[in-house]
Chain A
Amino acid sequence: GNSVTQMEGPVTLSEEAFLTINCTYTATGYPSLFWYVQYPGEGLQLLLKATKADDKGSNKGFEATYRKETTSFHLEKGSVQVSDSAVYFCALSERAGGTSYGKLTFGQGTILTVHP
């Protein structure tokens, strides 16, 4: 079956530090990959996505590259802000169609805290 493994948290950084959150996956076929973010008290928001190998997703200064050879989709940001404090989830989805219907498989989430 499909699975997603994220680096364990929590991660604590100072403002303007470099961020990496590791994510690796196991999947049959050719999944799409996602990063979701959950701010305190809210639901999940799509942060970025990549749908095929070597694609780079980017949004709000965050980036992740779909690496098929290493089955990875690591999240990076060059300079974090206090407002980036949240829980980050890596996820994969088989293509909708057939019997998958676009179901998401999530990692366990990584709590990020950024201090001023």
Chain B
Amino acid sequence: DVKVTQSSRYLVKRTGEKVFLECVQDMDHENMFWYRQDPGLGLRLIYFSYDVKMKEKGDIPEGYSVSREKKERFSLILESASTNQTSMYLCAVHTKTYEQYFGPGTRLTVT
């Protein structure tokens, strides 16, 4: 199974700060995803990437951007953090057996 790690488990940032969330896989799967999880809303797709430097918007991309310079690493960027971006952020990797493996999540609080 692929192992997915995320740079921080908990993060506290101030409104207006630029925030970087990193996700790393230990294999070379092509498709990687960023979701946010909010109570009662399930998981919603922010962005995904299907190869190095290739990306597509998900369902809620506003206020976010992403970067994929190397195959194993997929970064989520909050250009100017706002309080409504306080959430749990989950990274996932899609495998050729049609399964997604998730990282442990980063709980971000914006004050």
SS class, residues of chain B in contact with chain A = strand
List B contacts of A96 (CB < 8 A). Answer: 31, 94, 96, 98
Cα(A108)–Cα(B102), bound, Å: 17
Partner of B98, one of A45, A95, A109: A95
* Interface status of B101 (Cβ within 8 A of chain A): yes
Task: Check if B81 is an interface residue, CB within 8 A of chain A.
Answer: no
Are A42 and B31 neighbours in the complex by a CB distance under 8 Å? no
**Closest CB in chain B relative to A107 CB, distance in Å:** 6
Residues of B within 8 A of A45 (CB): 102
Task: Tell me the count of chain B residues lying within 8 A, CB to CB, of chain A.
Answer: 25
Judging by beta carbons under 8 Å apart, are A102 and B98 in contact? yes
Query: What bracket does the count of chain A residues touching chain B fall in?
Result: 20 to 34
B5-63: which have CB < 8 Å to A?
Answer: 31, 33, 40-45, 48, 50, 56, 58
- Residues of A whose CB lies within 8 Å of any CB of B are 32, 34, 36, 42-46, 49, 51, 89, 93, 95-96, 101-104, 106-109
